[in-house]
Amino acid sequence: MDLVASLVDKSVLFRDPDEEVAHYRMLDTIREYGAARLLEEGGTARWEERQTLVGMERVREIAERWMGPDQDELVRLARRNHDNLRGVLQRTCATPDQAATGLTMVVRLEHYWVMTGRISEGVHWLTTGLRHEGADPALRARAHAVASYLSSLQADLGTAARHLDEARALGAGLDDVGVEGYLAFADAGLALFDGRPERAVETSAGWLRRAHAGCHLQIESMLLLAQGLALSALGRLDEAVEVNQRLAQRTGAVGERFLHSMALWSLSLDLRERGDLDAADAHATRALELKRPIGDEVGVALCLESLAATASVRRDPARSATLLGAAERLWRRIGVTALSAPYIAAQRELGERLARGSLRDQLFEDAYRCGQAMSTAEAVRWALTADRAVADDPLDGTRLTRREREIALLIGEGLTNQQIADRLVISVRTAQGHVEKILRKLELASRTQVATWVVSRRA
């Protein structure tokens, strides 16, 4: 420890200030220099082997603890070690006699690739590792099934179908209920994305009937999610609600968050269709609250889409447009189109159609761009705290921009610049700049006059 402390004092190592467990980094130039010296001395093999062993242990720990209450901690662990894991996968997936190790790690991290928006990277490692034939057929079948699922998420349905065919061929005759579960989920996922919800219901229900309840909780939960979405797509809402409630109960009982929040999100779609807008909002909001600490960016985007659709039905078009813009930014960043799956496309179409019908085009575009400009953290915070009263905008038709109208309303409520900044997730300086523009455009001299003007507009 004295050596480590000395290196920190000399700024050779840096401790990550956001981690409770000590985690150190070094400057890229120093790391590159050390790697070059190590290569010159022929000592890389020993350290590469140690890095692989550590990476395997990290991934094993994540997989074994995944279906429980520690997912936020496990996602942080994977994110913190991502560069090291990438180095291991780069080496193992490309090497014939190590490909099985790489594939095992990639498959065990299947949800991590989705949650963190690294779907393309997950597909890349699977494709690279599957080029080599040496791995166990059961492992290769699972790898092809995960590759199919990830490809479906990217709307690359041809590739998804090819991986699914390979997985079926490898899984035939294995008599492995776990492999069968992976095949069923890949099959149901592809059916959902290419518009065959009947097939998704049939496939997921078939495996759930055969498998012993609780023996494969993760696969069972994934298939319940697929089944619920498919039933919803078919308009069988009562059955969909029952399946999603079952999923929420099973995952909630063990403290799991990723699939539990997906169940709540799926329920929000069904409840809105049944006309229970308060319950739909409550479920989508709770799902968003659960997704924030685990860093599930795909899930966050889905929740924003659901909240946007419900806001439109509630005749809250400005909120809907802002949420749609925030979701669109996330879809672009992740590399998934919001229209890739019928159930996502339906949410967006509903939210956008109703919002555009209630707002002038320029107002819709202003709100949409406002959402697009938000970071993920800002979008989540805004979705959970935004004042919906802004939607019924008494300042509409004035010379103020949408953001300036929003700030003027908050001035009318008596908020200070600091409070406005906190509410809207902007800097105090930005808030002050907007206030100055409001005063200039309205030809007023003080915040009190702005507040009086707002009250008169509301009267």
Q: Tens digits of per-residue pLDDT, 235-277?
A: 999 999 999 999 999 999 999 999 999 999 999 999 999 999 9
Q: Using alpha carbons, select from 354, 345, 269 the residue that is nearest to residue 316.
A: 354
Supply the pLDDT for residue 12. 65
- Given a contact cutoff of 8 angstroms between Cβ atoms, the answer to whether 133 and 166 are in contact is no
List C-alpha distances in Å: 123 to 60, 92, 109, 159, 293: 20, 15, 12, 10, 25
On the question of pLDDT at 388 being above 70, the answer is no
Highest-scoring range by mean pLDDT, 46-55, 119-128, 420-429: 119-128
Rounded Cα–Cα distance for residues 106 and 103 (Å): 5
- Given a contact cutoff of 8 angstroms between Cβ atoms, the answer to whether 95 and 135 are in contact is no
On the question of pLDDT at 436 being above 60, the answer is yes
25, β-bridge pairs: 14
CA torsion angle 182 185 190 193 (round to 10): -150
On the question of pLDDT at 140 being above 90, the answer is yes
Mean pLDDT of 95-107: 95
- Could you tell me if residue 168 is left (phi over 0), alpha (psi between -120 and 50 degrees) or otherwise beta? alpha
Tokens 């080599």 found at: 132
Supply the pLDDT for residue 422. 75
Supply the pLDDT for residue 52. 93
SS3 456: helix
- Given a contact cutoff of 8 angstroms between Cβ atoms, the answer to whether 267 and 260 are in contact is no
Residue with more model confidence, 459 or 316: 316
Supply the pLDDT for residue 21. 55
Q: Is the dihedral of CA 459, 422, 327, 346 positive or negative?
A: negative
Give the model confidence (pLDDT) of 220-238 as tens digits.
999 999 999 999 999 999 9
Q: What is the pTM of this model?
A: 0.77
- What is the band of 214 on the pLDDT scale with cuts at 50, 70, 90? low
**Exposure pattern of 16-40 as b/e (b: 16+ CB <10 Å)?**
eeeeeeeeeeeeeeeeeeeeeeeee
On the question of pLDDT at 391 being above 50, the answer is no
Supply the pLDDT for residue 361. 80
Supply the pLDDT for residue 252. 93
Rounded Cα–Cα distance for residues 143 and 104 (Å): 8
Supply the pLDDT for residue 401. 84
pLDDT, averaged across the chain? 86
Supply the pLDDT for residue 273. 92
List C-alpha distances in Å: 77 to 22, 83, 125, 136, 388: 12, 12, 20, 28, 37
Residue 25 phi/psi, 5-degree rounding, is -130, 160
- What is the band of 299 on the pLDDT scale with cuts at 50, 70, 90? very high
On the question of pLDDT at 390 being above 50, the answer is no
- What is the band of 38 on the pLDDT scale with cuts at 50, 70, 90? low
Two structure tokens written together for 144: 């092809």
Percent of the chain with pLDDT over 90: 51
User: Can you point out the beta strands (E) in 82-211?
Assistant: none
Mean pLDDT of 389-416: 74
Q: How far is CA 420 from the centre of its chain?
A: 28
Supply the pLDDT for residue 340. 67
- What is the band of 370 on the pLDDT scale with cuts at 50, 70, 90? confident
Rounded Cα–Cα distance for residues 44 and 405 (Å): 61
24, β-bridge pairs: 15
Three-state secondary structure of 381-435: HHHHHCCHHHHCCCCCCCCCCHHHHHHHHHHHCCCCHHHHHHHHCCCHHHHHHHH
Mean pLDDT of 5-18: 62
- What is the band of 317 on the pLDDT scale with cuts at 50, 70, 90? confident
